[in-house]
Structure 1
Amino acid sequence: MQDGTANVSRPTRRQFLRTVRAAGIGVLAGGVAAACAAEPGIAVPAAGDPGEVIRIGYVSPESGVLAPFGEADRFVVTAMREFFAANPVHVGGRPHRVEILTRDSQSDANRAADVAAGLVLDDGVHLMLVSGTSDTTNAVSDQCEAAGTPCVATATPWQSWLYGRGGRPETGFAWTYLFSWGLEDVQAVYADMWDQVATNRTAGALWPNDTDGMAWGSPDLGFPPAAAERGYTIVDPGNYVAGAPDFSAQIRAFRAASAEVLLGVAGSADFAAFWRQSAQHGYQPRIATIGKGIQFPATVEEIGAAALNLATEVGWSPSHPFTSSLTGQSAADLAAGYTTATGRQWSQPIGFAHALFEVAAAALRAVGSIEDRRAIADAIAAMRLDTVVGPLDFTAGPVRGVAKTPLVGGQWRPGTATPYELVIVSNARHPEIPAAGAVEPLPTLAG
Structure 2
Amino acid sequence: MAVARSGRLASLGDPLDFVLNWMAPKLAGRGPGGYSIRLVSRDTRSCAQGAREAVEELVRDENAAIVVTLAGTEVLPAVADACEAAGVPCLSSTFPWQVYYYGRGADDDRPFEWTYHFCWGLDDIADIFADLWERVDDSGSRKPVGCLWNDGPQGTWSRNPERGFAAVARARGHRLVEPEPYREPATTLDDHVKAFRDDEIDIVTSAATGRDLALFRAQAAEKGWQPRLITCSRWLAYPPSVTRGGELPAQAGVGTLVYWTPAHPYRSSIDGMTAAELADTYEQTTGRQVLQPLGLAYALLEVAYHALTTADDPTDRRSIAAALGATRAHTMAGLLDWTRGPVPNVATVALAGGQWQPGTRHDYELAIVTPGKVDGLPVTGDLVTT
Same fold by TM-score greater than 0.5: yes
Name the aligned partner's letter for residue 414 of structure 1: P
Whether 1:276 and 2:218 are equivalent positions in the alignment is yes
Indicate how the Cα distance of structure 1 residues 200 and 256 shifts in structure 2: closer, same or farther if over 3 A, else same: farther
Report the CA distance between 1:425 and its aligned residue: 0.5
8 Å Cα contact 2:217/2:226 also seen in 1: no
Indicate how the Cα distance of structure 1 residues 121 and 211 shifts in structure 2: closer, same or farther if over 3 A, else same: farther
Match of 1:195 among 106, 130, 134: 134
Match of 1:178 among 105, 112, 117: 117
Determine the C-alpha separation between the residues in 2 that align with 1:73 and 1:325: 17
Determine the C-alpha separation between the residues in 2 that align with 1:344 and 1:427: 25
Report the CA distance between 1:217 and its aligned residue: 2.0
Determine the C-alpha separation between the residues in 1 that align with 2:9 and 2:162: 27
Whether 1:74 and 2:13 are equivalent positions in the alignment is no
Determine the C-alpha separation between the residues in 1 that align with 2:370 and 2:189: 29
8 Å Cα contact 1:200/1:259 also seen in 2: no
8 Å Cα contact 1:135/1:211 also seen in 2: no
Whether 1:221 and 2:160 are equivalent positions in the alignment is no
What RMSD over aligned residues (CA atoms) do the two structures have, in Å?
1.9
Whether 1:89 and 2:30 are equivalent positions in the alignment is yes
Whether 1:247 and 2:189 are equivalent positions in the alignment is yes
Determine the C-alpha separation between the residues in 1 that align with 2:305 and 2:142: 50
| Structure 2, gaps ≥5 residues long | none
8 Å Cα contact 2:190/2:219 also seen in 1: yes
Q: Which residue of 2 aligns with 1:113?
A: 52
CA-to-partner distance for each residue in 1:135-189, whole Å, 9 max, x for gaps?
A: 2221111111111100101111110100110111233211110111111111110
Paired residues, number: 380
Indicate how the Cα distance of structure 1 residues 220 and 380 shifts in structure 2: closer, same or farther if over 3 A, else same: same
Indicate how the Cα distance of structure 1 residues 104 and 210 shifts in structure 2: closer, same or farther if over 3 A, else same: farther
TM-score normalized by the length of structure 2: 0.93
Bigger Rg, structure 1 or 2: 1
Q: Which residue of 2 aligns with 1:136?
A: 75
Indicate how the Cα distance of structure 1 residues 162 and 300 shifts in structure 2: closer, same or farther if over 3 A, else same: farther
Match of 2:329 among 380, 385, 401: 385
Report the CA distance between 1:233 and its aligned residue: 1.4
Q: Which residue of 1 aligns with 2:4?
A: 61
Matched position secondary structure for 2:31: strand
Indicate how the Cα distance of structure 1 residues 71 and 281 shifts in structure 2: closer, same or farther if over 3 A, else same: farther
Matched position secondary structure for 1:193: helix
Q: Which residue of 2 aligns with 1:148?
A: 87
CA-to-partner distance for each residue in 1:248-280, whole Å, 9 max, x for gaps?
A: 222222222222111111122222232223222
Name the aligned partner's letter for residue 83 of structure 1: K
Determine the C-alpha separation between the residues in 2 that align with 1:328 and 1:307: 33
CA-to-partner distance for each residue in 1:73-111, whole Å, 9 max, x for gaps?
A: 2211110123223xx23322x141x33222232322232
Report the CA distance between 1:307 and its aligned residue: 4.3
8 Å Cα contact 1:89/1:361 also seen in 2: no
Indicate how the Cα distance of structure 1 residues 113 and 238 shifts in structure 2: closer, same or farther if over 3 A, else same: farther
**Structure 1 residues 283-362: aligned runs within 5 Å:** 283-297=225-239, 299-302=240-243, 304=248, 307-362=251-306
Name the aligned partner's letter for residue 10 of structure 2: A
Report the CA distance between 1:202 and its aligned residue: 1.7
Determine the C-alpha separation between the residues in 1 that align with 2:286 and 2:145: 38
Match of 2:153 among 186, 191, 211: 211
Matched position secondary structure for 1:100: coil
Determine the C-alpha separation between the residues in 1 that align with 2:304 and 2:106: 23
Q: Which residue of 1 aligns with 2:340?
A: 396
8 Å Cα contact 1:112/1:139 also seen in 2: yes
8 Å Cα contact 2:126/2:166 also seen in 1: no
Determine the C-alpha separation between the residues in 2 that align with 1:170 and 1:139: 22
8 Å Cα contact 1:324/1:330 also seen in 2: yes
Matched position secondary structure for 1:313: strand
Report the CA distance between 1:418 and its aligned residue: 0.8
Match of 1:263 among 177, 191, 205: 205
Determine the C-alpha separation between the residues in 1 that align with 2:49 and 2:200: 40
Matched position secondary structure for 2:41: strand
Report the CA distance between 1:305 and its aligned residue: 6.3
